[in-house]
Structures are given as structure tokens and as C-alpha cells.
Structure 1
Amino acid sequence: MGALFYLSHQPTLPTPSLFSGQDKLFHAIVYGILGFLLLGSRTPSVQGYTRAQLRGSILVASLYGVSDEIHQYFVPGRSSDVWDWVADTIGAVIAVSLLWWLSRKRVPATAQ
């Protein structure tokens, strides 16, 4: 989270323009990693991750995305965008869902 804060505090980030909307993809990837790490830091139960762990990881990543957009509003050369937050949340949902799905594959059939 500290790295995200540092990057969002930079006036401009030099990124080559590869395609339209690439910033949203970058947001989704970065916040997907955050969601993945947040959930990965939790210990799954015998039956896998609980709904509270899944929702909590997505919620924390999403709320951090909101705070990041508010923070960027005050950084010269940066702007806040609700669609960046949407991309942040979508990235977290996808990553947390992927980790949940992978954890379910590892749970023995007798434990389910």
C-alpha cells in the first residue's frame, strides 16, 4: 500500500501510450495484486477462505482505491477519476475470485 501511495503522489508517471484505456487496465492489475495479497495474507479455513475474508479483501482494496483517488485530487498534475476506482475494484474482485477458486481446488474433497 505504501508503494501505491508513493506512485500516486508523483505529479506524472511516464508511461508509453499503447492503447486507449490502458490506465484502467493498469489500475485493475495493480489493485488485483493488492486484493490478491490482502486475501493471501489471511489463513484459509479447512474449507477454504470464508465469505468474510473474501468480502473484506475486496472491501479494503476498494476503499483504498477511493482514498487513492481522493489523494490524487490534491496532487498537482494528477486528477481523480471515478472510473479509475471502478477499475481498481474490478481488479480486486477478479484477483480475489481467482485466489478463492484456486484455494477451492486445493481443498481435499472430504473437507468440502
Structure 2
Amino acid sequence: MLKIWMRRWGPAILMMAVIFIFSAHPSSELPGFGIWDYMVKKGGHALGYGLLALAYWRGFGQERGKKLPAWGLAICYAITDEVHQAFVPGRNPSGLDVLLFDNLGALLGLLVWEHIAKRRQEP
């Protein structure tokens, strides 16, 4: 029973840990990407929350009606992550990150995966 649960929810737990670890680093320890810094970091938000939403959906058993709860959980985690960043030196919580980058990343992750799944089913 635990093995089945871990197979379904393990990826979500792993993604939450990865996001937490990345956001726990003080800003002085974060690498810079020059003129691409903003795009790389915000793209990282979108990618991370896209993968997290997919991992939550997997945890729910990949049922069609469970994409909305998977997206909602990803946004809830994004909110808690921004609160967490308020306690990390040099980091600030950003509602824009949640509303735009994390939200769109989670949504796009689920939509792209759905598109790929449909294409696989076509003869």
C-alpha cells in the first residue's frame, strides 16, 4: 500500500522539496545569468510549477477531472513558497510570481501534457 502511494505521490513530494531547496537560498548565493537573468529565473518558476502540477495530477491517478485540483494545489504551494521566501535573506515574496509565472507554468504543464497524450492516441 505504501509502495503504491509513494509511486503516485513521490514525484510531487520530490518536486516540492526541489522548489523549497531552490527558494531557501539567499539571493547572494543565486547565480546570475546576465541579461537573461530575469527570463531564466521566471522560466524556472514556470517549469518548476508545470512539473509540480503534473506530479500532483499523477498523485490523483491521472484522472481527467483531477487536473483542476492539481493546478489548484500547485498554486497553493506557490503561495506557501512565496511566504517562505519572506524569511530568506535577500529574498522577497512576489504575488506576481504566483499570479503569472507559477500559475501559467502549472496551467501550461497540464495543457501541454494533455496535448501530447492526445497526439499519442491518434493513429
Normalised TM-score (structure 1): 0.78
Describe the SS at the equivalent of 1:80.
coil
Unaligned runs of at least 5 residues, structure 1: none
Unaligned runs of at least 5 residues, structure 2: 1-15
Q: Which runs of 4+ in 1 moved over 6 A?
A: none
**Bigger relative contact order, structure 1 or 2, given CA contacts below 8 A and separation 6+?**
1
Match of 1:90 in 2: 104
Describe the SS at the equivalent of 1:65.
helix
Match of 1:77 in 2: 90
Q: Is 1:6 the counterpart of 2:21 in the alignment? A: yes
Q: Which has the larger share of helix?
A: 2
> 1:59-107 CA deviation, whole Å, 9 max, x = no partner?
1111111110111012111111111112011000000111222333445
The aligned runs of 1:1-112 (5 Å cut-off) are 1-12=16-27, 13-19=30-36, 21-22=38-39, 23-44=41-62, 49-51=63-65, 53-85=66-98, 86-107=100-121
**Sequence identity percentage:** 27
**Matched residues in 1 for 2:21 and 2:33: separation?**
20
CA contact 1:72–1:80 (8 Å) conserved in 2: yes
- Cα 1:103–1:88 shift into 2, 3 Å: same
